[in-house]
Each structure stands twice: as C-alpha cells, then as structure tokens.
Amino acid sequence: MERAKLVGGALAPVGGGDLASALLKRVSRSFFLSLAVLPAAVRPTIGLAYLLARAADTIADSRLIARRARIAHLLALRAELEGHVPGRLEEIAAATREAQALGAERTLLERLPDCLAAHRALPPADRERVRAVLATIIEGMTQDLEIFPGEDEGGLAALATRQDLDRYTYLVAGCVGEFWTEVHVAHRPRLKGWDLAKMKALGVRFGKGLQLTNVLRDLPRDLRQGRCYLPSHDLALLGVEPRDLLDPASGRALRPLLVELLNVALDHYEAGWQYTFAIPGAEARMRLACAWPLLIGLRTLDLLAREPNWLDPALRLKVPRVRVYGMMVQSLTTVWSTRALGRQARRLRERIRLERPVSDRP
C-alpha cells in the first residue's frame, strides 16, 4: 500500500489523486455525491469527518469482535482525536481490520493513521469541530452497543421510550446538522447573516429525520441483529412485544406506530426544507447537497408508507438508482428557485398518503 501525504489538509496518495475522495466513493456512494458537489472550502473538513465517522461505524459493527473490545476501540479512537499517542491507531486497525468482509472498510481502517494526521493538519477551529461531532457520534455508538447486548434475534432488545429514540437519532445524525452548519457558516461569507442558533436547531432536525428514515427502513434486518429501535413502551400500547416483530405478519398490528413515526420523520423533513430554503440561491452547491438527501429520503418514506409487507426482511426498500439520478438532474434546474424546489418537494410529500394514527381519530 502507498504511503500517504497531506495535501492542503486532505489526504492524497503519493502519485496523485485524492485519497479521501477515493475512500469516500468506495464506502458511501450516496454521500460521495453530496460531498462532490459541496464548495471546495468545506469539502476537506466535512469529507474527513465522514471518513472518521464511517471508520467508527465499521468498528462498532465488527461482530466477530467482542462487544466490550469494540467499545474500547471506539473510546480509543475518540481519545486519539483529543491527543495523539504513537501506535494507538495501528493497534485499533490491527485488531479490527480482519473482521471486515468489505475490502473498502479494511482499507479505511488501515488508513486511520493518515486520517488522523489529516485531522491534526486542519485549521484549529475545524479540527475542534470534527473532534466534537465525532465525540458525539461515538457516544451514540457506544450506547448502542451497551443497550443491545445480543448479536442476533436470540438476544433481541429494544429502546425503552420515544425519548430514547429521539436521543439516539440526535447522537448519530442530528449532531451532524450542527456540525455542517458551523463549518459552512465559518467558510461561506454569504451565510454571515444566518441566526446560527436557529439554523443549528433546524440542522439537528434535518439529521434526525434522515436517521429516523434509516431506522424504519432497516428495521427488519436490525431485528435479526438483536436491535429494535421501536420503543418497547409504544409497542406495549399496541399489545406487541419486540419478538413479535420478527414475524412479518405483525406489520399490520404495528401500522399505527409506523404511521406516527413516518409523520415525525415528515415533520423533521419540513425543518430540513426550511434549512435548505434559507441557503442563499447563490450557494447552489450547498443547496443541492441538502436537497438531494431530502428528496431521496421522501422517496424512501413513500416506499415505506405504501408497502404492506414492510417487516419482511427479504424486501429492500431502496430508491432505484435511475430514479435517484433523475431527481438529481431535475433539481439542477430548480435549485436556484425556492419556489420551484419547494414545488418539487411538495409533489413528493403529497405522494405519501398516511392515515391518521388511531389515537388521533375521533
């Protein structure tokens, strides 16, 4: 493997090319699209934060490694962001890379020392922003490993309350909205008039909405890995236990809760659109990077709302790539206009025909 060197705060392999971009393209095609369209001034910081978060997620999901060891590796990574200790990252990589089935994830873990060197090369303010958001994300991951002690459906456990679910979506995604806002305000002069506290709050809800979409979409597979993110309190109100969800036929009884949570997600998406529409039209790249995940997320919610067998683990509720590219192309013509982009968003929202929850009916 090639030695890496730092180029302008970003990683690049000797011989040319952007290593950060190469790794991002391999470990996350959807985020890579949003990153690629971002203004160059924010791309290194946001891209590096994503790579570090993805590395942490890879460690957390290394199921061949004991749970306590994974927590220890995550805490060691967090400590490394606070201060470099020679050899610590190499130990993490050596202990976790062989447990990875995907070559891209093994490569990412092997390049952790280079990623942290890039972190130390960032300007101090950006370095602190990356450290802070990673500390929060790692807190969410370690809590996840503690709350869900099993690795399969035999050790299935559930979050207790709706507040626990909301807290989880903040720790692993809502905090990214705060980070994203701080980085852009620091580097994009056109945003100097933003009310930072207000926009960070909208950014938090933006991230929560996207993560709640992931929770609902991935529920059947998470259940079989021992994790139920639907709160046991809400399930009990419907006369359902977490283990009942392993039977896809229980989706009918669970429908009222799905409807409620889809509406929670939609409310978060409205905050996400407020965030997007507050971006000046001249910041078209930032608008696109925000609009794309919202548009894809709305399509995903539509698939969930319309799928009667949504608890079937054999289903893959994923927006076809051709449709994703079609939405992206269409948004290129609407991004300049809040009215036109809003019209595109409303058309997607109106496709999601949701019944009111049982508790709201007269």
Read off φ and ψ for residue 84, nearest 5 degrees: -75, 130
- To which residue do tokens 């090639």 refer? 2
Angstrom distance (rounded) from CA 38 to CA 308: 38
DSSP 111: T
pLDDT at 349 over 90: no
Q: What is the pLDDT of residue 97?
A: 73
Instruction: Concatenate the DSSP letters of all residues of 260-296 into one string.
Output: HHHHHHHHHHHHHHHHHHTS-TT-HHHHHHHHHHHHH
Give the per-residue pLDDT at 354.
Answer: 55
User: What are the structural domains of the chain?
Assistant: 1-125 (no CATH), 148-348 (1.10.600.10)
User: How high is the pLDDT of residue 14?
Assistant: 27
Q: Retrieve residue 148's tokens.
A: 């869900």
Q: Which residue has the higher pLDDT, 340 or 174?
A: 174
Distance in angstroms (rounded) separating the CA atoms of residues 172 and 169: 6
CA neighbor of 171 nearest in space, from 60, 273, 83: 60
For 99, other C-beta atoms within 10 Å of its C-beta total 17
Give 48's strand partners. none
Q: What percent of the chain has pLDDT over 90?
A: 61
Q: Where are the alpha helices (DSSP H) in 232-355?
A: 232-237, 251-277, 284-306, 321-334, 338-351
- pLDDT of residue 19 exceeding 80: no
Contact 14, 3 (CB under 8 A): yes
pLDDT for 246 equals 96
pLDDT of residue 330: 81
pLDDT of residue 318: 85
Amino acid at site 243: R
pLDDT tops 60 at residue 8: no
Q: How far is CA 362 from the centre of its chain?
A: 37
Residue 53's pLDDT band (boundaries 50, 70, 90)?
very high
- In this prediction, residue 343 carries a pLDDT of 84
| pLDDT for position 324 | 81
- 172 Cβ neighbours under 8 A, 6+ residues apart: 137, 140, 141, 144, 211
Query: Would you say residue 59 has pLDDT above 60?
Result: yes
Render pLDDT for 259-284 as a digit per residue (tens, 0 to 9): 999 999 999 999 999 999 999 989 99
Q: What pLDDT sits at residue 1?
A: 32
Q: How far apart are CA 4 and CA 20, in angstroms?
A: 11
User: What pLDDT score was predicted for residue 103?
Assistant: 74
Position 20 scores a pLDDT of 64
- Per residue in 82-132, pLDDT (tens digit) is 999 999 988 888 888 776 666 778 888 888 898 999 999 999 999 999 999
Neighbours of 20 (CB within 10 A): 25
Mean predicted lDDT score pLDDT of the chain: 86
Task: Give residue 323's identity as a one-letter amino acid code.
Answer: R
Q: Which residue has the higher pLDDT, 63 or 124?
A: 124
Least confident residue range of 16-30, 53-67, 228-242, 313-327: 16-30
**Beta-carbon contacts of residue 23 (< 8 Å; ≥ 6 apart):** 11, 51, 104, 107, 108, 111
Closest CA to 227 of 277, 333, 296, 154: 154
pLDDT in tens, 190-239: 999 999 999 999 999 999 999 999 999 999 999 999 999 999 999 999 99
CB 153 within 8 A of CB 226: yes
Angle ∠(204,300,290) on CA atoms, nearest 5:
40
What is the pLDDT, as a whole number, of residue 29? 58
Q: Report how far residue 47's alpha carbon sits from residue 119's, in angstroms, rounded to the nearest whole number.
A: 11
What pLDDT is attached to residue 191?
97
pLDDT above 70: percentage of residues in the chain:
88
Across 6-10, 80-84, 147-151, 166-170, least confident range = 6-10
pLDDT of residue 11: 47
